[in-house]
Amino acid sequence: MKRLSLWITMVILSSLPLAAQQSLEVRGMQALYAEGDVTIDGDLSDWDLSGQRLFCRDIASMRDTMSARVAVMHGPKALYVSVEWRDPSPMNNPNAPDSGKGWAGDSLQMRIVSDRLCHITAWYARGEGVPFIEIEYGISAKQPFGDGKVCLAQKKGWELEQGAAMAFQKSGDGRGYVQELRLPWSLVFKDDAKRAGAKLASTFAMAWGTDKLESRLVGNLATNVVRPVQQFWQTPGGWGALRLLPSGHTPPVSIDAAVQEFTSELLVGDNGEVLRYRMLSPKHKAEEAKLPLVLFLDGVGGRGYENTEQLLTAAWQFAVPQRLQTRPCYVVAPLCVPECRWVEVDWGLDKHEMPEEPSLPMRLTFELVDRLVKELAIDSARIYVTGLSMGGLGTWDAIQRRPDFFAAAAPVCGGGDTAQATRISHLPIWAFHGAKDAVVKTQRSRDMIEAIKTAGGNAKYTELPGVGHNAWVAAYTGEDLFTWLFSQHK
C-alpha cells in the first residue's frame, strides 16, 4: 500500500501524460434562432455561440491541436452551421469538387433526418481554391442513399449554387480555421410544409487529413447509443436530436463555462498521499448559512491526471447557472487515477462482496469530505453522494461504509453488496440503470433495490428502456433528480 501510494503521489505531482482518452460526449444539439442577418464570411461575430459544443477525442492532449467547436442556428429561410477547427494543417483537403471523395481530408460531414435523409459533405478544395458542398439523399433508414444527389459549386466568392453559401477563414496562429455554412431549407426538406414542428436528428463527422484521411471523429449520438458503429452513415436511428429553439429561447448551457466554475484543488492526506479534486462553491450565500455538500464520483472515463476529466460526463451539470441560483451548494468531485478504482472489484461481475477496506481513492475521499465538513459551512444533515458507472459502484460502497453519514444517495448504473442492504435500508436512495446495459449489468441495480425493500427500505429505482451504459444522460439532464436530492434531510 505504501509503495502504491508513493507511486501515485509521484505520478500526479510530476504531471505525466494522460493514460486514458477522455472525450466530450455530445448527446443532442440545439439550434438557436438567428435573430438577425447571418453573413457567411468566416467571421462569427454575428453568431450567438452560446449553443456551441466542443467535439474532441482526447481533451487533455488534442483540444488545441485536433478538435472542433460546432454551433447551429436557424432562421425562416435557412439552417446555419459554424465550426471552429483546430487543425495543424488547416484547409488542406486535396480532393477536387465532384471527386466524390471530399470526406477523405479536412472536411465536415453533417447528416440530417428531416422528411428525408441528407448526407452533407462540405470542404475547401485546396487545389482549386474553392468551397464545395455535396449532398446525397436517402429514402429511408433501410435505404439511407439512393434518392438523388446535388453538388453545390461556387458561383461567386463564398456564394454557392441553389442559395447555399460556405466561407472559410484561417485562424491567426495558422493552426485552425473557421468554416461557416448556410443551407436553405429547400436543400434540407423535400416538402417545406413539413418543416413546422418537425423533429430533426443529426450527426456530425469531423475529418482531418492532408493527402489522405488521417482522423475522423463522430459526434452527436442518440441517447441509447453507446458508441458510433463503424458505418454510422447507414444508421440514422443512432443520430442525436437537433432541436430548433424558438425565438427568444434561453441559450443552452455551455459545458466549458460550467467546468470553469469548479476550482482545482489538492489534498495531501494524513499519510502523505495525494488526491486531486475539483470544488464548486456557491458564489453568494448568507454569512452564517450552512449549505448542502454533494460528493460526485465519476466513471472510468473520468479517470486521469489532469483534474478536469471527472467533470466532463455529468458533474458539470451541478454548475448550470439556474441550479446554482435555486440550489446553492458545495460540490466536490475527486479525481481517480487510471491505476485505481473507487471499489477494487470487477464491475462486470454479477455480484460482489464489499472489500474489507476501502480503496485508496475512496479512503482519501472520505478524509477529504471530513475535512470539508470541519472547514466549511456545510449542513451535516444534507450531505449527498451520487456517481455513475464505476462511480455508481463507488456510491453504493460509500453509503455501505458510512450508512449514517449521508442524507441521500443516487447511484447511476452501479451495483453494491446485497448483504449490506440492511445497513442502508433507512437511507433515501434513487438508483438509475439502462435496461440494455452490458458493461455494468442492469441486474446489479435490480438486486440492490430488491434487497433494500426486503430489508424494509423504500428505495426508488428508474430503469430506462432501450438505454445501454449511459443512463447518466437521462439521470442528470432533467430536474427531477436534483429536486429529489436536495429535498432530502437526515
Q: What angle do CA 283, 289, 290 make, to 5 degrees?
A: 95
Whether residues 237 and 262 fall in one domain: no
Whether residues 301 and 345 fall in one domain: yes
Cell 471527472, residue located: 310
- Domain around 437: 255-486
Whether residues 154 and 34 fall in one domain: yes
Q: How many CB atoms lie within 10 A of CB 14?
A: 8
Decide if 249 is inside a domain: no
Whether residues 320 and 371 fall in one domain: yes
Decide if 71 is inside a domain: yes
Decide if 360 is inside a domain: yes
Decide if 353 is inside a domain: yes
Report the DSSP beta bridge partners of residue 121: 109, 134
Cell 472547514, residue located: 375
Whether residues 349 and 463 fall in one domain: yes
* pLDDT at residue 16 is higher than 70: no
Decide if 422 is inside a domain: yes
Whether residues 450 and 393 fall in one domain: yes
User: Tell me: the pLDDT tens digits for 223-253?
Assistant: 666 555 556 777 777 788 888 888 876 656 6
**What are the Cα distances from residue 297, in Å, to 294, 315, 476?**
10, 8, 13
Whether residues 203 and 294 fall in one domain: no
Q: How many domains does the chain have?
A: 2
Q: How far apart are CA 445 and CA 274, in angstroms?
A: 32
* pLDDT at residue 15 is higher than 50: no
Domain termination residue (choose one: 244, 271, 306): 244
For residues 304-325, average pLDDT: 87
Whether residues 228 and 304 fall in one domain: no
Whether residues 121 and 263 fall in one domain: no
Grid coordinates in use for 121?
Answer: 459533405
CATH number, domain of 403, equals: 3.40.50.1820
Give the pLDDT score at 7.
Answer: 31
CATH number, domain of 85, equals: 2.60.40.1190
Decide if 2 is inside a domain: no
274-280 and 430-434: which strand pairing? unpaired
Whether residues 338 and 432 fall in one domain: yes
Whether residues 189 and 218 fall in one domain: yes
Domain termination residue (choose one: 244, 263, 289): 244
User: Tell me: the pLDDT tens digits for 172-191?
Assistant: 999 999 999 999 999 999 99
Share of the chain above pLDDT 90, in %: 63
More confident: 97 or 260 = 97
Share of the chain above pLDDT 70, in %: 90
Decide if 26 is inside a domain: yes
Cell 488545441, residue located: 64
Whether residues 351 and 465 fall in one domain: yes
User: Tell me: the pLDDT tens digits for 28-64?
Assistant: 788 889 887 899 999 998 998 877 888 888 766 787 8
Contact by Cβ (8 Å): 417, 424: no
> What pTM value is reported for the model?
0.60
Give the pLDDT score at 353.
Answer: 96
Domain termination residue (choose one: 224, 244, 264): 244
Q: How many CB atoms lie within 10 A of CB 17?
A: 9
Decide if 212 is inside a domain: yes
Q: How far apart are CA 315 and CA 29, in angstroms?
A: 19
Give the pLDDT score at 20.
Answer: 35
For residues 99-113, average pLDDT: 93
Q: Which of 206-210, 281-285, 378-382 is least confident?
A: 281-285
The whole-chain average pLDDT of the chain stands at 87
* pLDDT at residue 21 is higher than 50: no
* pLDDT at residue 356 is higher than 70: yes
Grid coordinates in use for 357?
Answer: 477496506
Q: How far apart are CA 313 and CA 329, in angstroms?
A: 20
For residues 199-228, average pLDDT: 80
Give the pLDDT score at 3.
Answer: 30
Cell 441528407, residue located: 118
